[in-house]
């Protein structure tokens, strides 16, 4: 892996995010490359600039609307099975970005999915959701220009799911999701309801909508775009657009962050100290010995420390380029890099937790929780 | 067919309703024979006495509760795709019977099923439902001791369906309903919600419940009994009981009444004259010639005229026995029999329509329709 990475251009600090494995998504599923559009986005966010958002479906339509200053919406959400982690953080920041660009913003607490997929009761997910919404607000989501809701309580979403039921054959469901229990198919219809909710009359009617998600969520988009077509006559839906970000590697070097593996990720509500420790213990793109690293340079392309910095914690592109160069040429060693990243992350988390604490009551109010 | 019927005992006026084809239901699906219980019912209705209700699941439990004067419920409903006909009439009268025996009565307007199965919009079914409920009230349903509701508007039913989704595999759905579109599976979960609604806290909690239905609805009972078991811990459900009535033959001699075949059935809202005409044109169990019939007697076992009289329009068992005997011995000819039945049916329908007209406003109110 290190050898393959070495072949890349020395000055491709975003290359780490473009995993070769994503190539088949373009061909097999018809996901379009984001590269081709990025330069046309007036004020691209760092995920766009750095190739973390690598693919899309029909994002052109949303871009056109943004440029013309017309109404558009951003829609995504969270499955309330636990605290915010770097994946849900990314989605949240993407939504907030589009909200700041003028979009009506929708944030769904996918409690029906959490129930059908993870058997979490609505009482359990309600508690978790309060924390998730406090996180979202702390990150800058403006609730006055957005709609945050629980699927179980948002009857308009559930009504759409009932409508969509008549439009989906079993063969389609199996082709998209495989052989699953019925509840999971039901929750897929609910998610189609989420995605098309912004286009109901109550929210100003049909409009381009962008759904920023991890690429693992593309199945829902395929289903929903199909349903938007099938129910176009009744609801005048415009097929929703999407952007896809990559899935972050595990801190421990595993292919993805996973709850099953506590050292592979952290949540925004762990103590800064615990998070610092996980960073200190992380896998890196370093060489076997310091000497070797000084001579050959590190491999940021496979390094989770570089990745989380680049994807989340360093705003200025020049700083990231600088880090990349210093790692590549062997002047930045892993110990130093980890120590620096630890400081940045711990500072972010401390501030975030302070803001979040003050927003819990507002989160309860938004969700109608006593 | 006539020859086979001839083999039956001359004095089996209820024999016509016990179709041999139903025998496999006992073996294959585990439906229990109602015969064995009928004598234990304190005040059996005419469907019970005459073998029109031929099967059940766990009706013993309801019977025991009735005898002890404990709480129990009766639950059934209608798919609002058209006016009341003799099949929906039978279900309605069964519900009213149990209500009069002390049951809490629940009547579901299965508008989600009508949408998923027949693509009728909720606006369309709302109009139809008003008429259906007016019919139900005209037949004697007491709304003060009953709950009449539309599935789409009864969130408790839909909440149950969401819960049940996690308990049903695709394999189970396919085994019960075959390969169908997802909406139909969804509507099956909704129907399980209907059947278990009476056991929610809002209605006094778990209780024996009888679901009187046509035997073609047994699939829903099998699914629901399975779900009642699976969710027993959470909801304390008692598995619902059911009774099964047979499906009436078509007036034109076809195996069942069907909308596709307007001469095979009538609705309670056709003009009495039109209904009279359908009866006059009906198939009978008569012989080729009057002479032959006088000599051999008629075959009431295959006669839809005899069947609708016996199942709906003649209250006194002795009168039915008398008709049966006279037909068998050749003294009652088909013309005379039809003329008499026509009078009885037209009189019933006229009276029913008069009552119903006055109840439409109340029906609108119950359904919350403006």
pLDDT tens sequence across A274-313 = 999 999 999 999 999 999 999 999 999 999 999 999 999 9
pLDDT higher for A7 or A225?
Answer: A225
A191 closest CA partner among A310, A305, A94, A109:
A109
Check: CB of residue A230 under 8 Å from CB of residue A167. yes
Q: Is the dihedral of CA B62, B64, B69, B71 positive or negative?
A: negative
Cβ within 8 Å, pair A167-B179: no
Distance from CA of A177 to the nearest CA of B (A): 12
Helix (H, G, I), strand (E, B) or coil at B190: helix
- A7 band by pLDDT with thresholds 50, 70 and 90: very low
Average confidence score pLDDT of chain A: 92
Is residue A155 within 8 angstroms of chain B, CB to CB? Answer: yes
Query: Is residue A323 over pLDDT 90?
Result: yes
Cβ within 8 Å, pair A165-B158: no
A195 closest CA partner among A36, A83, A58, A49:
A58
Average confidence score pLDDT of chain B: 92
Question: Average pLDDT, stretch A161-183?
Answer: 91
pLDDT over 90 for what percent of chain B? 83
Is residue B175 within 8 angstroms of chain A, CB to CB? Answer: no
Distance from CA of B345 to the nearest CA of A (A): 39
Residues of A in contact with B181 (CB under 8 A): 165-170
The residue ranges of every structural domain in chain B are 1-16+249-370, 20-245
Cβ within 8 Å, pair A189-B182: yes
Query: Is residue B348 over pLDDT 50?
Result: yes
pLDDT of residue A2: 40
Domain spanning B20-245 has what CATH number? 3.40.50.620
pLDDT of residue A20: 56
Q: Which chain A residue's Cα is nearest to B161?
A: A183
Query: Is residue A12 over pLDDT 80?
Result: no
pLDDT of residue A23: 76
Check: CB of residue B287 under 8 Å from CB of residue B298. yes
pLDDT of residue B23: 76
pLDDT of residue B134: 98
Separation of alpha carbons B368 and B111, rounded Å: 14
Q: Which chain B residue's Cα is nearest to A154?
A: B155
Give the pair of three-digit tokens for residue B24.
């496999």
Query: Is residue B11 over pLDDT 70?
Result: no
Question: What architecture is the A1-18+250-370 domain classified under in CATH?
Answer: Orthogonal Bundle (1.10)
Q: Is the dihedral of CA B254, B259, B260, B261 positive or negative?
A: positive
Is residue A169 within 8 angstroms of chain B, CB to CB? Answer: yes
Separation of alpha carbons B78 and B367, rounded Å: 14
Question: How big is chain A by its Cα radius of gyration, in Å?
Answer: 21
Q: What are phi and psi of B43, to 5 degrees?
A: -140, 70
pLDDT of residue B180: 87
- A17 band by pLDDT with thresholds 50, 70 and 90: low
pLDDT of residue B26: 82
pLDDT of residue B328: 94
- B156 band by pLDDT with thresholds 50, 70 and 90: very high
Asked if CATH classification 1.10.240.10 holds for the domain at B1-16+249-370, the reply, yes or no, is yes
- A9 band by pLDDT with thresholds 50, 70 and 90: very low
pLDDT over 70 for what percent of chain B? 94
Distance from CA of B92 to the nearest CA of A (A): 27
Cβ within 8 Å, pair B162-A189: no
pLDDT of residue B21: 67
**DSSP string for A145-157:** GEEEEETTT-HHH
Cβ within 8 Å, pair A165-B179: no
**DSSP string for A106-148:** EEEE-HHHHHHHH---HHHHHHHHHHHHHHHHHTT--GGGEEE
Cβ within 8 Å, pair A163-B115: yes
pLDDT of residue B353: 98
Is residue A50 within 8 angstroms of chain B, CB to CB? Answer: no
Separation of alpha carbons B314 and B257, rounded Å: 20
B268 closest CA partner among B356, B329, B334:
B356
Counted across chains A and B, CB pairs separated by less than 8 A come out at: 86
pLDDT of residue B1: 36
Q: Which chain A residue's Cα is nearest to B122?
A: A163
What Cα–Cα distance (Å) separates residue B36 from each residue in A193, B51, B59? 50, 11, 11
Residues of B in contact with A166 (CB under 8 A): 115-116, 119, 181, 183
pLDDT of residue A16: 55
Is residue B199 within 8 angstroms of chain A, CB to CB? Answer: no
Q: Give every strand in the sheet of A73-78, ordered side by side.
A: A32-33, A53-57, A241-245, A209-214, A73-78, A104-109, A146-150
The Cβ of residue A271 has, within 10 Å, a number of other Cβ atoms equal to 13
Question: Average pLDDT, stretch B177-199?
Answer: 94
Residues of A in contact with B158 (CB under 8 A): 158
Q: Give the CB-side neighbour count of residue B36, counting CA atoms within 13 A.
A: 10
Is residue A284 within 8 angstroms of chain B, CB to CB? Answer: no
Nearest to B162 among A112, A170, A185 (CB): A112
Nearest to A182 among B112, B155, B173 (CB): B173
Separation of alpha carbons B192 and A157, rounded Å: 21
Least confident of B71-75, B153-157, B178-182, B224-228: B178-182
């Amino acid at each position: 892996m290190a050898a393959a990475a070495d072949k890349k251009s020395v000055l491709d600090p975003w290359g780490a995010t473009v995993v070769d494995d994503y190539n088949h998504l373009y061909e097999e599923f018809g996901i379009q490359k984001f590269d081709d559009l990025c330069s046309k986005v007036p004020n691209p966010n760092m995920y766009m600039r750095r190739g973390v958002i690598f693919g899309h479906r029909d994002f052109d339509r949303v871009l056109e609307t943004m440029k013309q200053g017309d109404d558009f919406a951003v829609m995504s959400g969270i499955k309330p099975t636990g605290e915010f982690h770097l994946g849900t953080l990314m989605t949240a920041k993407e939504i907030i970005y589009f909200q700041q660009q003028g979009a009506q913003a929708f944030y769904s607490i996918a409690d029906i999915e959490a129930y059908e997929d993870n058997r979490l009761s609505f009482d359990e997910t309600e508690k978790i959701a309060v924390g998730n919404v406090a996180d979202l607000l702390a990150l800058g989501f403006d609730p006055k220009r957005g709609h945050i809701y629980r699927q179980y309580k948002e009857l308009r979403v559930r009504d759409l799911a009932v409508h969509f039921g008549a439009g989906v054959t079993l063969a389609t469901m199996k082709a998209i999701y495989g052989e699953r229990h019925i509840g999971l198919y039901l929750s897929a219809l609910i998610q189609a309801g989420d995605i098309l909710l912004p286009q109901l009359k109550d929210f100003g009617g049909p409009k381009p909508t962008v759904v920023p998600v991890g690429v693992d969520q593309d199945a829902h988009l395929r289903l929903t775009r199909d349903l938007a077509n099938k129910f176009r006559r009744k609801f005048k839906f415009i097929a929703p657009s999407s952007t896809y970000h990559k899935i972050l590697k595990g801190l421990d070097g595993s292919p993805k962050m996973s709850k099953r593996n506590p050292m592979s990720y952290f949540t925004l509500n762990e103590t800064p100290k615990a998070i610092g420790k996980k960073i200190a213990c992380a896998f890196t793109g370093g060489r076997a010995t310091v000497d070797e690293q000084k001579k050959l340079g590190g491999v940021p392309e496979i390094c989770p420390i570089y990745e989380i910095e680049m994807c989340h914690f360093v705003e200025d592109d020049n700083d990231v380029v600088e880090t990349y160069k210093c790692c590549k040429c062997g002047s930045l060693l892993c110990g130093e890099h980890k120590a620096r990243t630890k400081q940045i992350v711990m500072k972010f988390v401390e501030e975030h937790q302070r803001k979040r604490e003050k927003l819990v009551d507002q989160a309860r109010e938004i969700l109608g929780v006593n």
